[in-house]
Structure 1
Amino acid sequence: MMNTELELGLERRIGKRSAAVVEKHLGITTVGGLLNYFPRRYLSRGELTPISEVPLDEEVTLIARVISNSTRQMRARRGSLTDVVISDDAGGPHRPGHPGAGIPGTLKVSFFNGYRARAELQPGRRAMFSGKVTRYGGSLGLTNPDFLLLDEDPDTPGMDPEKLAAMPIPVYPATAKLTSWSIQKVISTLLDTVDLGALADPLPAAVSAREKFLPMPEAYRLIHAPQTPEDWRRARDRFRYQEALVLQSALARRRAQLAAEEATARRPVPDGLLAAFDRQLPFTLTAGQSAVGKTLAGELSQDGPMNRLLQGEVGSGKTIVALRAMLQVVDAGGQAALLAPTEVLAAQHFDSIRRTLGPLASDGLLGGLGDHTVQVSLLTGSMPTAARKQALLDAASGTAGIVIGTHALLSDNVSFYDLGLIVVDEQHRFGVEQRDALRGKASKPPHLLVMTATPIPRTVAMTVFGDLETSVLDELPAGRAPISTHVVGLAENPGWASRIWSRSREEIDAGHQVYVVCPKIGTDDDGDFSPGEAEPGPGDLEDDGAARELASVTGVVEHLREEPALAGIPLAPLHGRQDPTVKSGTMASFTANETKLLVSTTVIEVGVDVHNATLMVILDADRFGISQLHQLRGRVGRGGLPGTCLLVTALEPGHPSRRRLDAVAATTDGFELSQEDLKLRREGDILGSSQSGGRSTLKLLRVLEHEDIIARARQDAQEIVGRDPSLADHPVLAEAINDYLNPEKEAFLERG
């Protein structure tokens, strides 16, 4: 039994005219699309909306009482302006005749030529308003909002006033042209005409019975037209679980498909390269590194492909763990590819892996050790032609056991002799097509290890990386020193601006080095934000973006060359638009301690490893996301010397964007920060590519708040798919998965 009713065109159930309006403003064309357009929240007719909680720059729907109404003729243009002051009654009693705007709990509402507002919005009346909240002259206001008087409700004539006051009003995500109550009206028509009884339930009957869920037809009715708050809560619980189950079943099905694929087992060799490497390691692996190493070794030895996510703080030793896995594959006759997001990082991995291998690298720094050697090759887009040709040849012939590169590894002319393992560094920088392109270069599905230094809360890992098994390295190896982080607020302490540079000089005079990070390259651009990073949203930019010039690499370098405290100090710029040879020359000079101060964009965010750098100054730190700030500060304190990070901001202390800075200064625990980050940014598009806040694809599910629901649904999904991998006995669930995962989301799940 399939849900054909949900796929019907809307015009069949609500008429052509209404359907056209819904399609134009909401982009919805089917019965199912509109039925699943759930209310964002519910208002009680009997209660006023707290005006202090009304968000700036967003479409809002609120209930308030009118305090005053006055109209005047406009001077600059023809027509009249009606000003209505509305209240949530939090500001206390109002004196008669007092206009009230600006008092806590009041909001000014302006109407141009608002004849209806002038007549209807009389003092004492209650109404629902819908519009965009803006800031004008220091106080919040609404301009030309739509409104609906609540004193007499045309839909419910003769209803008991007490019952009416308790009846929740659904508030839908509205647009400037389509109010919440217009959407409610259309959905009300739909509920009268749609055949809800014909809908098949994607939830297995046993799950519904266990959870005591409402039947689906009733749940649709009560989520859109509840009589009591209990009605919508019960309906929402049902749909929330349904969403979690559909999502987790999609991931479980994906995991089952991956497990059924056939990979080449790469079993350990008792006296091979890996054994030689372990013998010459100058330090002992941490307990976590050993444990994860055992897990990887076991999975590489299987006939099914390994698909594992390795999370670990900056400096937790992920690279050693990955290198040991690569050596096991090379021992077994295969090749390993390491994919890095930037050329700087690829070159760094190349240098550090060859340095770590020492005499085991066959083009070895110290000459090879007989058979126990491996050739490591680097392949990037900007390499000289001859070197690039040689690297391509070495990958294709199997001469290179380990190939390290950027997305240049993905181009059509790159082929491998026998690709056995792909290691992806900093997963969130790579798109689906890129991973698929690399997988396609192996004759059988290769093993996959994804590494990230961005800590991911457990629920997000269950949801976003649900098709990968997860390992965490949560202890730092010996020699990592603590990093202290301080917010430097220039708004309240303007004198600190020059102190930053004398502090930098002290660090350099003590023999150490300094990073200075800027949000943009030159004075003419908008910023050098990394792909996939959270660029500041409109809420972050309000009232401070236009007023101040952001720090740029070129501007700061010019300023610091004139800065008395840094006289005679060798400093250099580094950013993404420089020629690759200039970039690598600058990095080499900084690594060799010739350049003492590096002024850079976020290109140094991942992987840059200079042990002597102890101070990082991040200018306009409020322009970066939490995870980015955490990554950046991980560049200092790497050589056993304590690190310091200064988050410099010109924003006022109460500004919302300073919450991020306070959060980063308060803890160096990446997992704690990732939870905070998610709270501040909202989920973003969990299953889409835009993971930077904004609208969540998840309708009712919130990954931080509903961990228990997600875990329960995951358990159910694993049992269902375990018994029935193709979901042949659950056709409605399979159909719901296909509807929920449009092609882009499905592709996103194919992160293997």
Structure 2
Amino acid sequence: MIEYTLRSPIEYLKGVGPQKADLLKKELNIFTFDDLVHHYPFRYLDRTRFYKINQLQPEMSNVQILGRLINIELIGQKKGKRLVAQFKDETGELELVWFQSIRWLEKSLTVGAVYIIFGKPTLYNGQFSMTHPEMDLYNPAKKNIGNLSLQPVYSSTEKLKQFYLDTKGIQRLQEGLISWAVKKVEESLPEHILKKHRLITKTEALLNIHFPTNQQDLQTAQRRLKFEELFFIQLKLLKNKLLQTHKFKGHIFEEVGDNFNIFYREKLPFPLTNAQKRVLKEIRHDTHTGAQMNRLLQGDVGSGKTVVALMTMLLAVDNGCQACMMAPTEILAQQHYSGLIKLIDGLPLSIKILSGSTPKKERRLIHEALENGELNILVGTHALIEDTVKFKNLGLVVIDEQHRFGVEQRAKLWRKNHLPPHMLVMTATPIPRTLAMTLYGDLDVSVIDELPAGRKPIKTLHLFESGRLRMFGFMREEIEKGRQVYVVYPLIKESEKLDLMHLEAGIENLTREFPLPKYRISIVHGKMPAKDKDFEMQRFVRGETQIMVATTVIEVGVNVPNATVMIIENAERFGLSQLHQLRGRVGRGGEQSFCILMSSNKLSNDGKLRLSTMVRTNDGFEIAETDLQLRGPGDIAGTQQSGILDLKLADLTTDQEILQEARNSVIHIFEEDPTLSTPKNALLRNTLIQKNPGISWDKIS
């Protein structure tokens, strides 16, 4: 006889078999009994309340009624055939209608029997009816699992439903599995954590998440399972951070030398803000400890992250090290390079740029200068991680827009030196605190939360199509003042499926409104050859064109201080983070800048919230929090690809308190027991290894 375990293949579960098993694997990633146990309901139907027929209202959603089936009749022919039944309670009658599974229903329904029906009531010609209701024979004596007060609703798919694996079908599988499975489930949290945080056991939690008898039991189960998910994410992240701090020794930057001091005293383009000073102090502290720095630097577009990065690079050079700065695109790398050249003009430093388009001869010279130590700072794209790029003594790596690089790409830069370089990763995409704690919990986080003196907040306006002439007039006024304007479109060409403004039609409108030779227009989009794109961008940068018509290709990487107006067409089609990034292209000079959000008159509730948020605030972190609520964590900062946020139950938008509680708990445990080697934490260590096979447990001294 086969001895089943939680690791048993799902096809061996009663009611599944090979065909359904293949579908469960493909559609829901359910391969084993354990996977099914951890396939949680995403909502619950409250079956605790019963309605009378005379209480029904047309606007009600699903309702539950106890009554008697008094008549059943087959009506119509062929495709128009339907099964109609009369259902009554002491207050009135209701018509029940089915268009599918008619033959099976005729056999299974019993006239005269008492049923619990569940479905949406519809009013037609003065009488209520219910189409395809759920039907359960009433049995007041039945107490076992499945006769529910809170009915679980499971995610399913159209393919699964064809094989009767809709929410009811999955519920039946859970009924057959759960009472056996909970006896096999091993506890993952030790007793001292359960007591400290008032958590129920895993067995109780799994039973009550699938088959709760009341709201209290459900909430207690959800809190326990959410805590566990977030706790083990934090345990892994903070364990990695602890290991890095102790295992990976780093360069010690003791000296604040001439390059740093001369730049600070003579070449700063504007006084450092208090936020920049605070971040530099945090970096100075990190580079003094003898451990490798791993710091995330967050700050809105224009907040002065690049100056902080440069001063950190100067600190590295002053201490006999080389520094490199990696950006995700050639445009952004070139922009950083040009900016750095201007900032360090006159300092005795060598700085070069390396990208895919660097000529072979120049590339060879750069490689030689790197290896012999003549080159102090190298800016580049992914080209920096190629094996042929070798440094003499790499002491600092700066990564811009870090979410566009994978962990392995960053790790390749680590391995460029015998002593791992310090890492400073930067993002202009503000990350909500909960997401930063979860996604970058192994990094120290610095925030630049103020703009340099003289920068004026961008004024944002939302206009409908009726305001287009007003928008054109405003563009003319700004261009007459010598300013420049961006106009961004969601599409390049007309789409049959989407009724949106597109770049080609926009160019026609703009050339009519702003004719040659008085006005000149640059055009940039993602399908242009790189050389053409760069040529058009450079014309705009040099002020040879007044209007840049573009797609979101200019979201990152164009710095034109003279551009004061950003117009975003069909703004409702963009995410909040993207709108904020686009708005950050203006407001880079001393003049007042503006962002105009053009939209259609038909806006969804989410669309209205996005646009009103943009009009109300320039605070990137407030915008990021709203974006997290609207989109969920998976779409922000590329976290879907990271695999870190594989959350089955916890929600970073609503479970911030549980996340903080879990993180604090982990911090306290590591303070007492850094290697989880005491008997009371042995279960945590074993569970962490089980959840992360191959995890490093190098000795922490």
TM over 0.5: yes
Aligned residue in 2 for 1:423:
398
Return the alpha-carbon distance in structure 1 between the equivalents of residues 411 and 521 of structure 2: 41
How far residue 457 of structure 1 moved from its aligned partner, in angstroms, is 1.4
SS of residue paired to 2:337: helix
Residues 521 and 192 (structure 1 numbering): CA distance in 2 closer, same or farther, change over 3 Å?
same
Q: Which stretch shifts more, 17-26 or 299-308?
A: 17-26
Is the CA contact 1:263–1:446 (under 8 Å) kept in the aligned structure 2? no
How do residues 677-696 of structure 1 correspond to structure 2 at under 5 angstroms? Answer: 677-684=627-634, 689-690=639-640
How do residues 553-568 of structure 1 correspond to structure 2 at under 5 angstroms? Answer: 554-563=504-513, 568=518
Residue 502 (str. 1) matches residue 502 (str. 2): no
Is the CA contact 1:626–1:660 (under 8 Å) kept in the aligned structure 2? yes
Is the CA contact 1:81–1:112 (under 8 Å) kept in the aligned structure 2? no
Is the CA contact 2:185–2:202 (under 8 Å) kept in the aligned structure 1? yes
Return the alpha-carbon distance in structure 2 between the equivalents of residues 582 and 446 of structure 1: 37
How far residue 238 of structure 1 moved from its aligned partner, in angstroms, is 1.2
The one-letter code matched in structure 1 to 2:156 is A
Query: Which of 169, 172, 177 is 2:151 aligned to?
Result: 169
Query: Which of 331, 338, 343 is 2:325 aligned to?
Result: 338
The one-letter code matched in structure 2 to 1:296 is I
How far residue 340 of structure 1 moved from its aligned partner, in angstroms, is 0.9
Q: Which stretch shifts more, 274-283 or 670-679?
A: 274-283
Q: Which stretch shifts more, 398-407 or 717-726?
A: 717-726
Query: Which of 357, 365, 390 is 1:382 aligned to?
Result: 357
The one-letter code matched in structure 2 to 1:714 is R
Aligned residue in 1 for 2:459:
484
Aligned residue in 2 for 1:43:
45
Query: Which of 265, 270, 289 is 1:283 aligned to?
Result: 270
Return the alpha-carbon distance in structure 1 between the equivalents of residues 498 and 208 of structure 2: 48
SS of residue paired to 1:699: coil
Aligned length, in residue pairs = 659
Residues 266 and 276 (structure 1 numbering): CA distance in 2 closer, same or farther, change over 3 Å?
farther
Aligned residue in 1 for 2:382:
407
Q: Which stretch shifts more, 449-458 or 500-509?
A: 500-509
Query: Which of 576, 598, 614 is 2:564 aligned to?
Result: 614
Return the alpha-carbon distance in structure 2 between the equivalents of residues 485 and 714 of structure 1: 38
The one-letter code matched in structure 1 to 2:499 is R
Return the alpha-carbon distance in structure 1 between the equivalents of residues 270 and 81 of structure 2: 76
Aligned residue in 2 for 1:530:
none
The one-letter code matched in structure 2 to 1:29 is F
C-alpha distance after superposition, 1:524-551 (max 9, x if no partner) = 8xxxxxxxxxxxxxxxxxxxx8251441
The one-letter code matched in structure 2 to 1:501 is F
Aligned residue in 2 for 1:363:
none
Which 4+ runs in 1 deviate beyond 6 A?
A: 48-54, 64-67, 69-74, 94-97, 117-122, 163-166, 685-688
TM-score (norm 1): 0.79
C-alpha distance after superposition, 1:130-166 (max 9, x if no partner) = 9xxxxxxxxxxxxx9976314x25xx652489x9998
How do residues 590-739 of structure 1 correspond to structure 2 at under 5 angstroms? Answer: 590-654=540-604, 656-684=606-634, 689-690=639-640, 697-729=646-678, 730-738=681-689
Is the CA contact 2:522–2:537 (under 8 Å) kept in the aligned structure 1? no
How far residue 228 of structure 1 moved from its aligned partner, in angstroms, is 2.3
C-alpha distance after superposition, 1:440-498 (max 9, x if no partner) = 222222111111111111111111110101111111111211211122222xx2xx334
SS of residue paired to 1:34: helix
Return the alpha-carbon distance in structure 2 between the equivalents of residues 110 and 642 of structure 1: 65
Return the alpha-carbon distance in structure 1 between the equivalents of residues 132 and 349 of structure 2: 71
Aligned residue in 1 for 2:204:
218
Aligned residue in 1 for 2:425:
450
Aligned residue in 1 for 2:247:
261
Query: Which of 228, 232, 235 is 2:214 aligned to?
Result: 228
How far residue 580 of structure 1 moved from its aligned partner, in angstroms, is 3.2
Query: Which of 156, 165, 172 is 1:185 aligned to?
Result: 172
Return the alpha-carbon distance in structure 1 between the equivalents of residues 35 and 116 of structure 2: 33
Return the alpha-carbon distance in structure 2 between the equivalents of residues 560 and 425 of structure 1: 34
Is the CA contact 2:403–2:637 (under 8 Å) kept in the aligned structure 1? no
SS of residue paired to 2:282: helix
Is the CA contact 1:570–1:596 (under 8 Å) kept in the aligned structure 2? yes
SS of residue paired to 2:579: helix
Is the CA contact 1:315–1:476 (under 8 Å) kept in the aligned structure 2? yes
Is the CA contact 2:253–2:288 (under 8 Å) kept in the aligned structure 1? yes
Return the alpha-carbon distance in structure 1 between the equivalents of residues 147 and 13 of structure 2: 31
How far residue 622 of structure 1 moved from its aligned partner, in angstroms, is 2.0
Return the alpha-carbon distance in structure 2 between the equivalents of residues 241 and 556 of structure 1: 51
Aligned residue in 2 for 1:251:
237
Return the alpha-carbon distance in structure 2 between the equivalents of residues 645 and 461 of structure 1: 28
Residues 695 and 388 (structure 1 numbering): CA distance in 2 closer, same or farther, change over 3 Å?
closer
Residues 739 and 12 (structure 1 numbering): CA distance in 2 closer, same or farther, change over 3 Å?
farther
Residues 434 and 129 (structure 1 numbering): CA distance in 2 closer, same or farther, change over 3 Å?
farther
Return the alpha-carbon distance in structure 2 between the equivalents of residues 522 and 379 of structure 1: 34
C-alpha distance after superposition, 1:218-269 (max 9, x if no partner) = 2222222222222222222211111121111011111112112333324142
Residues 189 and 685 (structure 1 numbering): CA distance in 2 closer, same or farther, change over 3 Å?
farther
Q: Which stretch shifts more, 350-359 or 714-723?
A: 714-723
Is the CA contact 1:459–1:710 (under 8 Å) kept in the aligned structure 2? yes
How far residue 112 of structure 1 moved from its aligned partner, in angstroms, is 5.7
Return the alpha-carbon distance in structure 1 between the equivalents of residues 81 and 510 of structure 2: 53
C-alpha distance after superposition, 1:344-401 (max 9, x if no partner) = 11111001111111211xxxxxxxxxxxx21111111123333333333333332221
How far residue 586 of structure 1 moved from its aligned partner, in angstroms, is 2.4
Return the alpha-carbon distance in structure 2 between the equivalents of residues 245 and 169 of structure 1: 28
Q: What is the alpha-carbon root mean square deviation over aligned residues?
A: 3.9
Return the alpha-carbon distance in structure 2 between the equivalents of residues 188 and 586 of structure 1: 64
Q: Which stretch shifts more, 263-272 or 447-456?
A: 263-272
How far residue 592 of structure 1 moved from its aligned partner, in angstroms, is 2.0
C-alpha distance after superposition, 1:599-619 (max 9, x if no partner) = 112222224221111111111
SS of residue paired to 2:634: coil
Return the alpha-carbon distance in structure 2 between the equivalents of residues 665 and 242 of structure 1: 39
C-alpha distance after superposition, 1:641-670 (max 9, x if no partner) = 111111112251455433322222221111
How far residue 29 of structure 1 moved from its aligned partner, in angstroms, is 2.1
C-alpha distance after superposition, 1:682-723 (max 9, x if no partner) = 22278974279x997212211122222111111211232344
Residue 439 (str. 1) matches residue 390 (str. 2): no
Aligned residue in 2 for 1:571:
521
SS of residue paired to 2:527: coil
Aligned residue in 1 for 2:502:
551
Residues 17 and 645 (structure 1 numbering): CA distance in 2 closer, same or farther, change over 3 Å?
same
Query: Which of 457, 463, 471 is 2:446 aligned to?
Result: 471
Return the alpha-carbon distance in structure 2 between the equivalents of residues 387 and 290 of structure 1: 37
Residues 488 and 72 (structure 1 numbering): CA distance in 2 closer, same or farther, change over 3 Å?
farther
Residues 426 and 738 (structure 1 numbering): CA distance in 2 closer, same or farther, change over 3 Å?
same
How far residue 330 of structure 1 moved from its aligned partner, in angstroms, is 0.9
C-alpha distance after superposition, 1:4-39 (max 9, x if no partner) = 954344456647628836445433122322222222
Return the alpha-carbon distance in structure 1 between the equivalents of residues 132 and 673 of structure 2: 51
Return the alpha-carbon distance in structure 2 between the equivalents of residues 335 and 451 of structure 1: 19
Aligned residue in 1 for 2:127:
none
Return the alpha-carbon distance in structure 2 between the equivalents of residues 52 and 741 of structure 1: 49
Residues 712 and 115 (structure 1 numbering): CA distance in 2 closer, same or farther, change over 3 Å?
same
Is the CA contact 1:172–1:184 (under 8 Å) kept in the aligned structure 2? yes
Aligned residue in 2 for 1:29:
31
Residues 615 and 487 (structure 1 numbering): CA distance in 2 closer, same or farther, change over 3 Å?
same
Aligned residue in 2 for 1:397:
372
Is the CA contact 2:65–2:117 (under 8 Å) kept in the aligned structure 1? yes
